[in-house]
Amino acid sequence: MTSSVSHAATDARRQLIDFISADAVFHGDFTLTSGKKATYYVDLRRVSLDHRVAPLIGQVMLDLIADVPEVVAVGGMTMGADPIAAAILHQGAARGLAYDAFVVRKEPKDHGRGKQVEGPDLAGKRVIVLEDTSTTGGSPLKAIEALRKVGAEVAAVAVVVDRATGAREVIEAEGVPYLYAIGLEDLGLT
């Protein structure tokens, strides 16, 4: 990597951390999806749908997944993964990369073609499952299950913010590499 690319990647990541810290971290008493209590909550949709931040997410996540070979598409469980996949698709296109996006529904549609995975045909293709913030790893696991049913090969799970609450271990126990861009230490939450 050249120093200019490295500097640009570092700068985008620093800016992303600043936006998340300022606009997406809330302090108080919260109950997480897992049922566990927390003194802070990271609401990434506050920034992933922001015109200033979405491009940074795309750039940082592209850098994170750059070394995963032969990936053709990115996506995950709707709703959290959708803006992340769109950011990667658009920033990838701007870099001359060809990542398609997909969406995994919570349940298969009960009409039309009854699909659970929407987007391009992924049978026999390598994909990356995305998540905005990971706590238990439950959402990526559901996405992995749905993708394997359609014949996709899950090359990795890539998360914007990892809460260090066991998701990595759960995903890796499924035989899938776990990558994350930003940890609690980056946000001053440790």
Kindly list the structural domains of the chain, giving each domain's residue range(s) and its CATH number in brackets, ordered by start. 3-187 (3.40.50.2020)
119 annotated to a ligand binding site: no
pTM: 0.92
φ and ψ at 71, to 5 degrees? -85, 130
Q: Is 165 annotated as a binding residue?
A: no
- How far is residue 53's CA from residue 63's CA, in Å, rounded to a whole number? 16
- The answer to whether the annotation marks 111 as part of a ligand binding site is yes
Residue 147: strand, helix, or coil: helix
User: Annotated binding residue at 109?
Assistant: yes
pLDDT tens, residue order, the chain (190 aa): 444 456 777 899 999 999 999 999 999 999 887 788 989 999 999 999 999 999 999 999 999 999 999 999 999 999 999 999 999 999 999 999 999 999 999 987 666 666 899 999 999 999 999 999 988 999 999 999 999 999 999 999 999 999 998 999 999 999 999 999 999 999 999 8
Q: Determine whether the annotation assigns residue 35 to a binding site.
A: no
Q: Does 132 belong to an annotated binding site? A: yes
